[in-house]
Structure 1
Amino acid sequence: MRLRLQTMKLLLVVFGVVIVTFSFVHKASAHGYVKSPESRALLCAQKVNNDCGSIIYEPQSLEAPGNFPSAGPADGKIASANGAFPKLDEQTAKRWAKVPMKSGANTFTWKFTAAHATDKFEYYITKEGWNPNKPLKRADLEHFCTVKNNGKRPGEEATHKCVVPERKGYHIIVAYWEIGDTPNAFYNVIDANFDGQFVQPAPDKSESIAWDAKKVYVEGDKVAYKGVTYQAKWWTKGDQPGKAQVWALVGEEVPVAKTPAWDINKVYVGGEKATYNGATYQAKWWTKGERPDKAQVWALVEGSSKLSAWDAEKVYLGGEKALYKGATYQAKWWTKGDEPVKTQVWALIK
């Protein structure tokens, strides 16, 4: 009898562990972000917004306790999902890129990297007279749209049609995704310009912090080392500025040196330049052995005024230009396959 009781207790413990483990994994699998209009986090991942911290690697992970606004993230930490990605809470009138929007009927599209049973989606917008130079708080927000999902699991994307209240200038929209079978939710903020133009973020003029060999830095972080300012190109720890390729010099002017000729055996990283057949090219990312005049990894920066026709298979970065149907367009941020006349990523130049 005693043996049977012990066996039953053991089975209950094992069963409980399985339940808890399954619940944790199931909960952790749900992720998503607002694809259109582009959220602050997505523009960080696309390298339009600068100095964003680690959100550049996972814009889909802004998860925090739900039941907003009565619960959820603390005031001042709404944009970061309660401090999970603290850089996103930095708030000034010029800190973030702003996507063009209009009052009235709008469409919001979520992209799910892992869907989840869903209770509802809600949308909030900052009130007239809010202060764009202070961290976002509940009192700044006005609810304007709810889309019920009644516990259903969405597909890869979900599109919602909502009527946005009348606004002018810069406002923030909070897009809220409440999970149906966990106490958590996802929070995305959208920096919107209701004056009709895409607005680039202002240059970062903040002071750099002294480099620390024991600290982890991610792409966009800046440090001061021996009186010079450097910016990280990617994840790094312990790599000394001035010696490691992960650090780019940004804080002082240096003598203009002759750009070296392209070397087929050399490794180039994003930002490095090389000359080839009398023209100067700049690497967009890591490359080795790819000819500058042929490979998409290289951008022409000097030596030819000829503009190439838009190519649906080519990757374009912010600032690059292309010809399309007789007109010149300039990319605002990273893009591939987006037709210039049909997407906001391209600006008509002439």
Structure 2
Amino acid sequence: MKAVFRTKSMKLLGTSIATLAFFTFVAWQTASAHGYIEEPQSRSLLCHEQVNTECGAIQWEPQSLEAPKGFPGPSIPDGQIASAGGAFPELDEQSADRWEKVNLNWGTNTFTWHLTAMHATTKWHYYITKPDWNPNEPLTRDQFELVPFYEIYDGGARPGQTVTHQVTIPERSGYHVILGVWDVDDTANAFYNVIDANFGGESSNPDPDPGNPEEPELPDVPEWNASTVYVGGDQVTYNGKLYQAKWWTRGETPGNSQVWEEVVTSATTSQDAFESITAWNTFAY
């Protein structure tokens, strides 16, 4: 009887350990969950929905494309942009017919992220392949327009489960790839999602008003004040530009002091962004 009791006890213990391991794994998956672009459907989400096939492990966790932030600077290697640094290598396979495509028109579109963990956010930014990109070559920085066609700064705010952006996609026709990046504010990481899009050559907002374009607005941050103490990460506006403090400062004028770093937004010039990105793009992998 003792031997039988011991055997049953060991079986029960084994079952308990297995159950605990299972729930620990499920809890870890939930804790490690983050977010993905659900509209238009990203490459990873179409893998999860079994529209894309032979995707590897990403089909089970489309929310997990996390890697160091800093794109288009030295964040993730060229050729591993779709997989966020190579964790899900199947996503980096690239050819004109490897992936299913969503139909889009250039012009105004709504992009929606579904978040499974609502991290404090620095910014969201989007890129698109060049008009003459090669869909049969790996996705590299040289394949993309490196000035984002849309970006918005959240200044560390914590988003809700659904985040929506009204973006304006540049004129394109045929197959192109869009890259959406979500920069987390309180970690060194970001989330990377690519969308395989087919453009029919039409605009989603044809016959625009030919009047003067509206002046882009800066984020809602305070104007710089010479008597205010600022610490690293604080943002201010000054002379129509957005600046962020690198460290503690007071009385040092943005644009004239190294403590202030200009933040590139849609309200700053594309030329400034281009010069900055050109310097970043010299990084060799």
1:52 partnered with 2:55:
yes
What letter matches 1:158 in structure 2? V
Q: Which amino acid aligns with 1:178?
A: D
Alignment-mate amino acid for residue 195 of structure 1: G
- C-alpha distance in 2 between matches for 1:38 and 1:52: 15
The SS at the match of 1:88 is helix
Give me the TM-score of the superposition, normalised by structure 2: 0.58
Q: Distance in 2 between matches of 1:73 and 1:102?
A: 29
TM-score by length of 1: 0.48
User: 2:127–2:178: 8 Å Cα contact kept in structure 1?
Assistant: yes
Q: Which residue of 1 aligns with 2:43?
A: 40
Matches within 5 A, 1:1-350: 29=32, 31-142=34-145, 143-195=148-200
Note the C-alpha offset of 1:123: 0.2
Q: 2-side partners of 1:174 and 1:67: how far apart?
A: 14
Partner secondary structure for residue 91 of structure 2: helix
Contact residue 32 and residue 64 of structure 2 kept, 8 A = no
Question: C-alpha separation between the residues in 2 aligned to 1:93 and 1:120?
Answer: 31
Greater C-alpha Rg? 1
SS of the aligned residue for 1:152 comes to coil
The RMSD of aligned alpha carbons is 1.5
Question: What is the Cα deviation at residue 105 of structure 1?
Answer: 0.3
Q: What letter matches 1:111 in structure 2?
A: H
Three-state SS of the structure 1 residue aligned to 2:105 is coil
In structure 1, the gaps of 5 or more residues are 1-24, 197-350
Q: SS at 2:90's partner residue?
A: helix
Deviation for aligned residue 1:30: 5.6
Q: 2 CA distance for matches of 1:98 and 1:118? A: 29
Aligned length: 171
Q: What SS class does the counterpart of residue 164 from structure 2 fall into?
A: strand
Q: Is the 8 A contact 1:52 1:88 kept in 2?
A: yes
SS at match of 2:62: coil
More helix by share: 2
Counting aligned pairs with the same residue, the percent is 59
SS at match of 1:102: strand
Change (3 A) 1:48 1:39: same
**Structure 2 unmatched ranges of 5 or more:** 1-27, 202-285
**Which runs of at least 4 in structure 1 moved beyond 6 Å after TM superposition?**
none
Structure 1: distance between partners of 2:86 and 2:117:
22
Shift of 1:115: 1.0
Q: Tell me by how many angstroms 1:148 deviates.
A: 1.2
Secondary structure of 2:116 counterpart: strand
Q: Secondary structure at the match of 1:41?
A: helix
Q: Which structure is richer in relative contact order (CA contacts within 8 A, separation 6 or more)?
A: 2
Contact 1:119-1:179 within 8 A present in 2 as well:
yes
